[in-house]
Chain A
Amino acid sequence: MNIELRNVRFSYGPIRALDGVSLQIGEGACGLLGPNGAGKSTLLKVLLGFLKPNAGDGLVLGHDILKDSFGIRRVVGYMPEDDCFIPGLDAVAFTSHFGELSGMPRAEAMKRAHDVLYYVGLGEARYRLLETYSAGMKQRLKLAQALVHDPKILFLDEPTANLDPQGRSEILELIADITSKKDLRVLISSHILTDIEQTCTSLVILNKGKVAAQGELAALREVRFSLYEMKVIGEAGPFLESLRRRECKVEETEDGIIKVYLPQAVGRRDLFRLAGEAAVQIRHFVKSRTSLEDLFARTVGVD
């Protein structure tokens, strides 16, 4: 496992930000999903050793989060959520500075800074003062400084925040390219579902400081519930009511399509049986691929 946490708790005074978080994250890109205030950024800070958990323990690439935060920081590249820079520096000086701080020799850090700045698309602007950078450029710069020392694992905190659609798609392309490297793991914290869907193969959903779901994205979509779309003829009210009584979540779209989330205890046959009992005919019936949005809504309990 790349990241393993056991019963981690952390509180900001009376507010419990992480409440017994236990998780296991393997290879590839993993999304850390949750609504605002779910504890995503806090979890990243605990993993980096910025915050000491009140209880629990864990490992990041074999380094203990309580005892070896230095070891973790050597192998981690961190891209924080907020704009971060040092005024008065250009991108080359800034990026190489953090390369040196990670332990790179000065000349190597300088060379590598040029490389990563070209890679993130700041090649032409690398000698401009950072104060003059746009929001999108600052986002790329943060990615460059996270990559400069060639980390083994990247923590990206809201990597597409404050970006226009074009900038967002470019950053996601970069992340997709990075995650395509089999030996570079990525943990992306975001509340933007499509970002996670586009870049990650596994997922951890946090809600109110607790792990609401975790696993491979594909498996999560399958096992937790099944989504069916159908159209019915007849009085749909009693039918939908009987579905709801069996803990199915039912949504009706404007074009008359009924989306039904079936829990594991309810099967397709039950659906048809209930339709028969309610005297409605099912005229259109397809198993829908569960979108991340559906999964998120079901897990976190929001619409």
Chain B
Amino acid sequence: MAIAERGYTHWQGTLGTGRKPWRVIAGQSIRLAWKRKYFKLAFFGALFPALFFAGGIYVSERISDFKEMMRGAEKFLQINPAYFQAYFGSSFLLFMMMVIMVGAGAGLISDDLRHNALPLYFSRPLRKRDYIGGKFASLAFFLLLLTLAPGLIFIVLKLIFAGSFKLLADYPWLPFSFIGWSIFLSSFLSLYTLLLSSLGRNRRFTSILILAVYFLSTAFFGIFFGIFHEPAFCLISIEMNLRQLSAALMGAKPLFNVPWIYSLLVLSAIMGASILVLRKKIRGTEVIR
């Protein structure tokens, strides 16, 4: 019998108070993103570099078997921090991450703003940090799958294929660099995406914004660097700042002769601004004063 025919009935359970609402929001956001066909395609595309570099680790241990094929690539196939920096700092990976951010993050807040979902969220026992944290966690989840997970797998593969702990003995800080970089990169891109997603009520607009800010900052860097030949202009490019910082964390040579700490400061300032704007924009009701 349909419930409507027997009237309203009470729920017999008890509401939990110890649950983490951000996990519920993160889970729902991940499921929503994963439902999109093009998102899956982009995500698997973003895993290609990881497969390529994992293959490189295998080949590096069997270099004599692949001598003919790998002529001239021996230097690249030396598994050292520069090898991993080539993965973590690659423009292609960063580009694919931006595509993932557009697919999973452009509508995360803008859709809620457009369809007035915020009052529904905040009529629940939910804090701003639960809401923002949940959305953040969903984006960070995908990004960590592209950074931390491959990084740790690379180390494990190297240990298995080499049959020794030489890599860890030579570079004991490497796993910590992977973890630190993955967390920083995921945090930065997630906050950057949430910030831009909160600036509009239209998913297309915020998608364009996410890509435009990223690529235009690099384009302006290219223009200024081309004219003035001043490497400090790399600080205006999100991509170049990320690559500078990844090189510093991996112990590799940076692209430009600019202290990495400046890049860290620029990126941290963007993250700080994102948190401030998000705290201001996210509220249960729109108050126009």
- A positions within 8 Å CB-CB of B: 12-13, 45, 48-51, 70, 73-74, 76-78, 80, 82-89, 93, 97-98, 100-105, 108, 112, 115-116, 118-121, 123, 145, 147, 149-150, 177-178, 180-181, 183-184
Taking A105-B16, A108-B13 as known contacts, 7 extra A-B pairs with beta carbons closer than 8 A to each other, sorted by chain A number, are: A45-B284, A48-B284, A84-B117, A86-B32, A87-B111, A87-B115, A149-B11
Q: Closest CB-CB distance, A68 to chain B, in whole Å?
A: 10
Compute how far the CA of A70 lies from the CA of B15 in the bound complex, rounded to whole angstroms. 13
Indicate if the CB atoms of B120 and A80 lie closer than 8 Å: yes
Indicate if the CB atoms of A88 and B120 lie closer than 8 Å: no
Does B107 make an interface contact (CB < 8 A)?
A: yes
Q: Which residues of A contact B8 (CB under 8 A)?
A: 119, 147, 177-178, 181, 184
Chain A residue at smallest Cβ distance from B4: A119
Compute how far the CA of A102 lies from the CA of B25 in the bound complex, rounded to whole angstroms. 12
Indicate if the CB atoms of A51 and B287 lie closer than 8 Å: yes
- B positions within 8 Å CB-CB of A: 2-4, 7-11, 13, 15-17, 19, 21, 24-25, 28, 31-32, 35, 107, 111-112, 115-117, 119-126, 283-285, 287-289
Q: List 29 A-B contacts (CB under 8 A).
A: A48-B284, A50-B119, A50-B285, A73-B123, A78-B119, A78-B123, A80-B116, A80-B123, A84-B115, A84-B117, A84-B120, A86-B32, A86-B112, A101-B121, A101-B125, A102-B15, A102-B124, A102-B125, A103-B16, A103-B19, A118-B2, A119-B3, A119-B9, A121-B4, A123-B2, A123-B4, A150-B11, A181-B8, A181-B10
Compute how far the CA of A119 lies from the CA of B289 in the bound complex, rounded to whole angstroms. 40
Indicate if the CB atoms of B285 and A51 lie closer than 8 Å: yes
Indicate if the CB atoms of A115 and B21 lie closer than 8 Å: no
Q: Given A87-B111, A103-B15, is A73 in contact with B116 using a C-beta cutoff of 8 Å?
A: no
Compute how far the CA of A51 lies from the CA of B28 in the bound complex, rounded to whole angstroms. 27
Chain A residue at smallest Cβ distance from B15: A103
Compute how far the CA of A50 lies from the CA of B32 in the bound complex, rounded to whole angstroms. 27
Chain A residue at smallest Cβ distance from B126: A101
Compute how far the CA of A80 lies from the CA of B121 in the bound complex, rounded to whole angstroms. 11
Q: Closest CB-CB distance, A14 to chain B, in whole Å?
A: 9
Compute how far the CA of A49 lies from the CA of B19 in the bound complex, rounded to whole angstroms. 21
Looking at B15, B24, B28, B124, the one whose CB has the most chain A CB atoms below 10 A away is: B124
Indicate if the CB atoms of A104 and B123 lie closer than 8 Å: no
Q: Given A87-B107, A88-B35, A101-B124, is A115 in contact with B3 using a C-beta cutoff of 8 Å?
A: yes
Q: Which residues of B contact A181 (CB under 8 A)?
A: 8, 10
Q: Which residues of A contact B32 (CB under 8 A)?
A: 86, 88-89
Q: Which residues of A contact B13 (CB under 8 A)?
A: 104-105, 108
Compute how far the CA of A84 lies from the CA of B116 in the bound complex, rounded to whole angstroms. 5
Q: Which residues of A contact B284 (CB under 8 A)?
A: 45, 48-50
